[in-house]
Amino acid sequence: MAGYILRRLLQAIPVFIGTTFLIYFMVFALPGDPIIALFGDKTPNPAIVAQLRAQYHLDQPFIVQYLIYMGGIFRGDFGISFSGQPVTEILARTFPVTLRLAVIALLIETIAGILVGMIAGLRKGKIFDGTTLAVSLILISLPVFVIAFVAQFVFGVQLGWARTTVGTGAPTQDLILPAFVLASISFAQIVRLTRSSVIETSGLDFVRTAYSKGLGRRRIVPVHILRNSLIPVVTYLATDFGVLLVGATVTEGIFNVPGVGNTLYQAIIRGEGPTVVSFVTVMVLIYLLVNLAVDLLYGLLDPRIRYVK
Amino acid sequence: MKIRRYGVSFAALAVASALVLTGCSGGGASTPATNANTTAIITTNGSEPQNPLIPTNTNETGGGKITDNIFAGLVYYDEKGAPVNDMADSIETTDSTTFTIKIKPNEKFTNGEAVTADSFINAWQYGALLSNKQLNSYFFADIEGYSEDADSPLTGLTKVDDLTFTVKLKAPAADFPLRLGYTAFMPLPSVALTDVAAFGENPIGNGPYKLASTGAWQHNVQIDLVVNPDYTGGRKPQNGGLTIKFYASADAQYADLQSNAVDVIDQIPDSAYSTYQSDLGDRAVNQPAAVFQSFTIPGRLPHFSGEEGQLRRQAISEAIDRDTITKVIFEGTRTAASDFTSPVIDGWSDSIEGSDVLKYNADDAKKLWAQADAISPWSGTFQIAYNADGGHQGWVDAVANNLKNNLGIDASGAPSPTFAQVRTAITDRTIQTAFRTGWQADYPGLFNFLGPIYATGAGSNDGDYSNPDFDALLAKGSSETDASAANKDFQDAQSILFKDLPAIPLWYSNVTGGYGTSVSNVHFGWNSVPLYYEITKG
Amino acid sequence: MSNDFTETPVAGSAASARSRGHFVAPLEETPLVAIDAVKVAEKRSNLWIDAWRDARRRPIFWISGALIFLVLLVAVFPGLFTSVAPNNDCQLSLSNGAATAGHPLGFTKQGCDVYSRIINGTSTSLTVGIIVILLTTVLGVVFGAFAGFYGGWLDSFLSRIGDIFFSIPYILAAVVIMSVLSEYRSVWTISLAIGIFAWPSTARVLRAEILSVKQSDYVMASEALGVSKLRILFRHVLPNSIAPVIAITTISLAAAIVAEATLSFLGVGLGSDIMSWGNEINQAQRDIRTHPQTLIYPSIALSVTVFAFILMGEVIREALDPKARALR
């Protein structure tokens, strides 16, 4: 077991190098000169542009830029944004907020999604199943910005149940409404996944055996059916966690969450290589750990799965 | 011009807001409400400054809103855009080339240092020096000694005594004193230049407000300003301070205004254009501002030079139904253009000779287009390039539909995902289509809308327009000592533009804003930003 | 159990079929080969034929099939459904106008015909959806299946490649792809932007399911019978692990179509000269409080399409799952 974990952690190194290289290249490949854009609609003085390009190493070939950046990382220097702030500071400021938001959203979608999916699966073809499908269809057919606007207007402005935007210090209660909006994106996926998995598991021999042994539903459903249905769901949730960490741009923008999504989006649009790569790098490391945890969790959910041979 | 930009696409770049509020309270200077609470903190919207808070390096509205309130320059602009002496005691000239500037005695920065001639000279020298890479360096371009190719001190700045200095320009510029209220011309205490990076994080100013404490700038969240008791100028705050909350989107700040989480905002999201006036009633603001919108057709595009080009440009201009687009697409938050400047600027006129070309006339447009086709037949699609992250799609589509319907040609928008991409193509002259252009004035003068954009070889002349007659009129206007004579020259210069149409004028962006029930005496300045010092709360 | 199942021994159930007919007979007295040969020759069968036999008896299959056919018909021949030009003759005087004769759903903000734009946008949206799910499913199944089934270093290698791809934020991918290929903006580029970095999620889910399924008795039985690894994977393991992939894929179709709207919202979508449901939803978003209908109609088109695909996915999943068939 320890050997397996160690091997997995070592694999993070090539992933780290591969990811940073790929992302740095993508930012590099973005057409347009980020320095020229700093001057807005005004045409800048070429001499100043040249000096600023040199300051951010943008005048170097791609591979040199990449190596300069990687060299900095190993000295603990993640670079400086165009606004003159160390990227590490930006990271330290935004990541905790987004992490909290992601965890709350994940909790909501996990609890609601699994519960609803399970009931729908157990009562396949009944009214509850049909209603769930209808709700899922509505949620999935509306882009997140529509859901966010409507939620903000209804719950924030009209009913006053929640703050319209996130307040100073991003208190957790302010994050609940945006978290619900985020959770709604994946809700349909988790419901469908849980439902199909529960239906499939319900037909398996050991469930029928359990019924014929005279066990009650109260025991069979959580212990036999749900536990054995969770593997694909847990896997999907883990990937969704990764999405929540970087992909919440729109929701964070509408609710003014001072988190990763917004900062990262701006950095992408402005072509700030070091900022983009540093953010994604941290996110990759978290994601690798989460995936490792999930792989280990498989063994608990299905004892037949063994990694250590 | 200050760049305005939000994180998530919602808002426009260089498209802004501001002037005078609607409805109630008319008339000039602050008349504080009798029961106003002078310790109350006003909250307002802003965006995270994109650069350290150094005045010469602040060229976007996020930082500008802060620097303008914590620094006081030689002059400030009142509500109507007229310059009022702030730190200056007097600014005098006889030839519009050499200016003698006297500074008020006993003014000081919040660290106790006196505001002297050196505070200005050193700040300007720093801002102009090439190797300091300041985004606003071109503001010093007219001062003797400025070079855009190499480090070169401003030899035109001469200290006379502690409170007096002279400025010598390369060529006459009658409106130079008018420019001095712009952010770039603020003074700096000597400590600023010893550690610029640290200063940019915790700036020390001499304006009506100061940072509440070290670290008052909470990045991506807000900045807290309190009243600077030492400030003696005309912008004496009627409130206790200013908290500028940084919003990633205009939608978020509007939602906050509706739930009273913010007192004053100076931009309404386009998703609320149709509802905000009914939502806010007389607390809604919608007035023309010093922002001019157009699209530029470079002369090097095929079919757009010479006589054929003039015909086609006029046809395109007459084929656009500006009134309907501003009414329907913008819900009245834009005002159809009638010149190349802005109605809030002194000297603006809606009856300049040739301005008929801005009137919607589909039949005439068709005729003009046919005449051009007789010279050389049109083929292909007319495209307007724009950055897709700036909320331009609506009007570009509407203009394209106008051209399709009225000229019978194929027309469409050409979005670029990033501002950098379209801006680089414009700067490199590689762009092969017409493109969106916008101009927010740096200072309230007609020249600022014309010289930097259409003068031969000017810095922002992206269409490479050149007309000697136009240049001559600009130069004549700049050397006039009488303001109304200068304005007349600038109007005549615009008549030439109406013939050549290097850019097709579209509309003026209004300032759209609003304020909450707890504040009063909210006025918007000529530059689309509320006059925060006048606002009272409670 | 249904007749179908008992009469046609699919490969995995060879043992049980044999025991039913010959449960008392010693093995050496009944040559295995002969009996199996007779049965197979009698009624040709495999998983897919069984699935088809099952599906065609279900009304849901025909309902969803008809809906999908209709949507495809609209996508391929929009001219059959409307003669109004979607992108020409848009008059601002009709902005957000109500329905009139010949324009059953009213007008958009730009004064274009809503119905015509939805009909003409079908092919774009459907193509984006289908390309994206093909991309994610093919890549996801290949990577997930091999990683999960073979394990070991191949698993590590494939899974880590998936991690690298997955860690690229899709917005970055979209901005890069749409701006590098801005000259060639089309359904292909936007589908690439949405799909190219989304497949690892499918791969991981399939891998997890396979990790569990490959421990099943019938897999061991096949191994014991000397069936080749690759054959076990494709004949036995994959069909039994595909249910979650189908569940994800049908929803992903909708997610992809909607993602196109979100990318438009962020400014990296298709231009408005290319019609699509996502584009319509995005442009209608600003007037959601005053004129929600322009947003609701394309959303309905999207919902109905996704509904059809979800039902179809459901039918396929159940048809492929002998146990679910048996339960009915």
Q: What pLDDT, in 10s, does the model give residues B291-306?
A: 999 999 999 999 999 8
B404 contact residues in C (CB cutoff 8 A): 88
- Residue A61 falls inside a structural domain: yes
Query: What's residue B28's pLDDT?
Result: 37
- Residue A86 falls inside a structural domain: no
**pLDDT bracket for residue C255 (50, 70, 90):** confident
For residue B32, pLDDT beyond 70: no
Q: Same domain, yes or no, for A208 and A113?
A: yes
Number of A/C CB contacts below 8 angstroms equals 194
Q: Same domain, yes or no, for A66 and A99?
A: no
CA gap B123, B134 in Å, rounded: 11
Q: What pLDDT, in 10s, does the model give residues B512-527?
A: 999 999 999 999 988 8
Instruction: Please indicate whether, in this complex, the C-beta atoms of A30 and B420 are within 8 angstroms of each other.
Output: yes
Phi, psi for residue B200 in degrees, rounded to 5:
-65, -25
B138 contact residues in A (CB cutoff 8 A): 42, 45
For residue B222, the chain A residue with the least C-alpha distance is A168
Instruction: Please indicate whether, in this complex, the C-beta atoms of C176 and A30 are within 8 angstroms of each other.
Output: yes
Question: What DSSP state is assigned to residue C78?
Answer: G
**pLDDT bracket for residue C33 (50, 70, 90):** low
Average pLDDT score, chain B: 88
Q: What pLDDT, in 10s, does the model give residues C48-98?
A: 777 788 888 888 889 989 999 999 999 999 888 888 877 777 888 888 888
For residue B463, the chain A residue with the least C-alpha distance is A43
For residue C100, pLDDT beyond 50: yes
CA gap B29, B238 in Å, rounded: 12
Q: Same domain, yes or no, for A113 and A53?
A: no
**pLDDT bracket for residue B533 (50, 70, 90):** very high
Instruction: Please indicate whether, in this complex, the C-beta atoms of B424 and A39 are within 8 angstroms of each other.
Output: no
A28, A43, A74: which is the final residue of a domain?
A: A74
**Of B386 and C84, the one with more pLDDT:** B386
- Residue A5 falls inside a structural domain: no
Instruction: Please indicate whether, in this complex, the C-beta atoms of A232 and C171 are within 8 angstroms of each other.
Output: no
A270 contact residues in B (CB cutoff 8 A): 420
Pairing of strands B284-296, B503-515: antiparallel
- Residue A9 falls inside a structural domain: no
For residue B269, the chain C residue with the least C-alpha distance is C286
- Residue A8 falls inside a structural domain: no
Mean pLDDT of all residues in B347-374: 93
Mean pLDDT of all residues in C102-118: 87
Q: Same domain, yes or no, for A142 and A265?
A: yes
Mean pLDDT of all residues in C134-162: 91
Instruction: Please indicate whether, in this complex, the C-beta atoms of A280 and C299 are within 8 angstroms of each other.
Output: no
- Residue A265 falls inside a structural domain: yes
Number of domains in chain A: 2
A20: domain range? 15-74
Q: Which of C205, C248, C285 sits opposite A146 (nearest CB)?
A: C285
Q: Same domain, yes or no, for A162 and A255?
A: yes
For residue A17, the chain C residue with the least C-alpha distance is C164
The alpha carbon of residue B422 is apart from the nearest alpha carbon of chain C, in Å, by 10
Q: What pLDDT, in 10s, does the model give residues A36-81?
A: 888 877 778 888 888 888 888 888 888 898 888 888 888 888 888 8
Which of C159, C167, C285, C317 to substitute to test the interface with A, most A CBs within 10 Å? C167
The one-letter amino acid code at C87 reads: N
The alpha carbon of residue A55 is apart from the nearest alpha carbon of chain C, in Å, by 24
Query: What's residue B449's pLDDT?
Result: 93
Q: Which of C265, C271, C286 sits opposite B412 (nearest CB)?
A: C271
Q: Same domain, yes or no, for A34 and A173?
A: no
Q: Same domain, yes or no, for A26 and A103?
A: no
- Residue A6 falls inside a structural domain: no
Query: CB-based contacts of C215: which residues, under 8 Å, 6+ apart?
Result: A302, A304, A305
- Residue A51 falls inside a structural domain: yes
Q: Which of B272, B324, B418 sits opposite C175 (nearest CB)?
A: B418
Query: What's residue B265's pLDDT?
Result: 94
Query: What's residue C9's pLDDT?
Result: 39
For residue B366, pLDDT beyond 50: yes
Q: Which residues pair with B100 in a beta bridge?
A: B92, B166
Query: What's residue C174's pLDDT?
Result: 82
B425 contact residues in A (CB cutoff 8 A): 32
For residue B91, pLDDT beyond 80: yes
Top mean pLDDT of A294-308, C125-139, C252-266 is at C125-139
Domain containing A266 — which CATH number? 1.10.3720.10
Q: Same domain, yes or no, for A42 and A142?
A: no
Contacting chains of C (3 CB pairs or more, <8 Å) are A, B
C258 contact residues in A (CB cutoff 8 A): 140-143
Q: Same domain, yes or no, for A103 and A252?
A: yes
For residue A139, pLDDT beyond 80: yes
Angstrom CA distances, B94 to A182, B98, B483, stand at 65, 7, 14
Going by C-alpha positions, the residue among A85, A53, A47 that lies closest to residue A271 is A53
Average pLDDT score, chain C: 80
Q: Same domain, yes or no, for A53 and A110?
A: no
Query: What's residue A88's pLDDT?
Result: 87
B219 contact residues in A (CB cutoff 8 A): 85, 89-90, 93
Q: Same domain, yes or no, for A154 and A39?
A: no
CA gap C249, C310 in Å, rounded: 9
Q: Same domain, yes or no, for A69 and A101?
A: no
A32 — alpha (psi -120 to 50), left (phi > 0) or beta? left
For residue A44, the chain B residue with the least C-alpha distance is B459
For residue B485, pLDDT beyond 60: yes
C278 contact residues in A (CB cutoff 8 A): 143
For residue A4, pLDDT beyond 90: no
Query: What's residue A179's pLDDT?
Result: 93
Q: Which of C92, C174, C285 sits opposite B328 (nearest CB)?
A: C92
Query: What's residue C25's pLDDT?
Result: 52
Q: Which residues pair with B414 in a beta bridge?
A: B385
Is there a contact between B256 and B269 (Cβ–Cβ < 8 Å)?
no
User: Which of residues 35 through 94 in chain C touch B, CB cutoff 8 A?
Assistant: 88-93
Q: Which of A23, A136, A269 sits opposite C168 (nearest CB)?
A: A23
